[in-house]
Amino acid sequence: MGLARTLTARAITLIAVLILVVLMVVTVLGATGMSDKLLGAIVDERLRAERQSLSQSIRDPDELNRVMEARKLELTRLYGLDVPWYLRLPQMAYRVLALDLGNARALKSFKGSRVISDIVLERLPNTLLLMTSAIAISAVLGLVVGVKIGTHPGTRKDRGLSYFSAISFALPTWWTGILLILICAYSFQMAFGFKLFPAGGMYSSPPPTDPWLRVVDVAYHAALPVITLVVALVGSYTYTARTIVLNVAQEDFVTVARAKGVPEGIVERRYIMRVAAPPILTNIIIGLAGSIGGAILTEAVFNWPGMGTLYYQAILQMDEAVIIALTYIFTLVYVAGRFILEVLYIVLDPRVRY
């Protein structure tokens, strides 16, 4: 009963956070006037285009003005500008919370659809392929290496990998990506007549028609951005795991276990890793949850059509429906990740439930 009560309280808290984030986004878009300005600009642009088209068939200026005034009223009602933002945007937020993402104002999917769910479903697999793969590889490498050097502090290997971790953590992903493009694409082409990896994009031009060749082509194009992200991210995972393991390894209960003659393998697994697992898992799962949002600069450098570039395009074009929907999706994934962490904490450390 205590476990169920604990998880229920955690779930209610996280759901409240989810609703609060969406309401904050709605308030910012509405209270700053950004929503009204954006929709007003869209209406004005559509009226300008329609006036230019109708002027070819309606020669009377007064008649043209009457038609355009009627059309302006229609568009004003269509975009909800006839009601204040505090009545219009909460309705949109409620639909988003109910997973009715609606239609985009300006953005389209690759097939021309304005349905936000279609746009997201096109971009999400691309981000999962790129970001989630890179973070998973970085987390596994960081965990293996960090635990190894954390249990043997002060050695030459520990010092060398610690320096590498600091350098890796300091590398901006966009700068690393540009550098690897110059080396692996252009330098190789100049020296050997071919590119080791393509400079960007997701497919060759033209893309292969065979399904298996298409998969190979996508993997070939994803290799360089994944390498870029791994180089820039593995240092933080390694150093985090090393620091946590090193702190736990210096606890008294670990010293007592070794003094009793407990084999080193059992000491590492049961006395060190069991205690160090919760904070390490926090870093990994929150990183994986955050990867759904993509990496705006990295995707821009490699011209990768993922969730990061979609968010960037939505902000540039001030497509409020897409901004609210993406914020909700990212927060929902984060909340799900946090709830998984709560369950894992209780499994790994039963003291948490109390």
What pLDDT is attached to residue 205? Answer: 78
CATH number of 116-318: 1.10.3720.10
What pLDDT is attached to residue 262? Answer: 84
Residue 19 and residue 305: Cα distance in Å, rounded? 28
Nearest to 77 by CA among 66, 86, 88: 88
Whether 278 contacts 348, CB under 8 Å:
yes
What pLDDT is attached to residue 30? Answer: 74
* Tens-place pLDDT, residues 5-63: 777 777 787 778 777 877 777 777 777 776 777 777 777 777 887 887 777 777 777 78
How many C-alpha atoms does 99 have within 13 Å on its Cβ side?
A: 1
Phi and psi for 125 in degrees, rounded to 5?
-60, -35
Phi and psi for 115 in degrees, rounded to 5?
-70, 125
For 33, left (φ over 0), alpha (ψ -120 to 50), or beta? left
Residues 6 or more apart in contact with residue 42 via CB below 8 angstroms: 79, 105, 106
Residue 330, token pair as written in the block: 């990212």
Phi and psi for 103 in degrees, rounded to 5?
-115, 150
Residue 179 and residue 33: Cα distance in Å, rounded? 41
What pLDDT is attached to residue 16? Answer: 81
Return the top range by mean pLDDT from 75-84, 156-165, 316-325.
156-165
* Tens-place pLDDT, residues 183-231: 887 777 777 777 778 877 888 877 788 888 888 888 888 888 888 888 8
